[in-house]
Amino acid sequence: MKPLIFGYALMTSLLISGCAVAQMGGRFKAMDSNGDGYIDASELTAMRLAAFDKADTDGDGALSREEAQAAREAMPRRADGEGRGFDLADRDGDGRILRSEVENSRPFLIEAADSDGDQRLSRKELRSYFMSLRKAR
């Protein structure tokens, strides 16, 4: 199994917050923290950790299924297949996702949207990826 800690269903939704393609410009700029015109794994990991910390309401460094569910319900738009995201992320099956697991995993979005293989996402790649998701619905 690929290291899909916080796979598309949970973390992409938390990070992108169900943004529409029309809003991508402002979201992209916010995600591109170093301003180089690309989003790389370190920028995505920082965002994933921020989302994790926000969802970890009891501050124990682990997300329970209940905390993950509450985070999903707080999103403006929920992704299809959302329950599977927690199960993929909970690799040891203990019912919790540790912050260290998120920190040490490769962001799924890079694998899914990086069409040129340079290990970073351009605005065009991200827009194309989200357009393909919208068309698939």
Helix/strand/coil percentages in the chain, nearest 5: 55, 10, 35
- Do residues 89 and 97 touch, judged by C-beta distance below 8 A? yes
- pLDDT tens digits, residue range 39-77? 999 999 998 899 899 999 999 999 999 998 888 888 765
Q: Please calculate the CA angle 56-88-78 and round it to the nearest 5 degrees.
A: 65
Phi, psi of 96 (to 5 degrees): -140, 150
Q: Is the residue at 85 inside a domain?
A: yes
Residue 23: per-residue pLDDT: 52
* Domain limits for position 115: 8-136
* Residue in the structure block whose two tokens are 């991200």: 126
Residue 55: per-residue pLDDT: 92
Q: Is the residue at 15 inside a domain?
A: yes
Structurally, the chain folds into a number of domains equal to 1
Q: Is the residue at 67 inside a domain?
A: yes
Query: pTM here?
Result: 0.69
Residue 130: per-residue pLDDT: 84
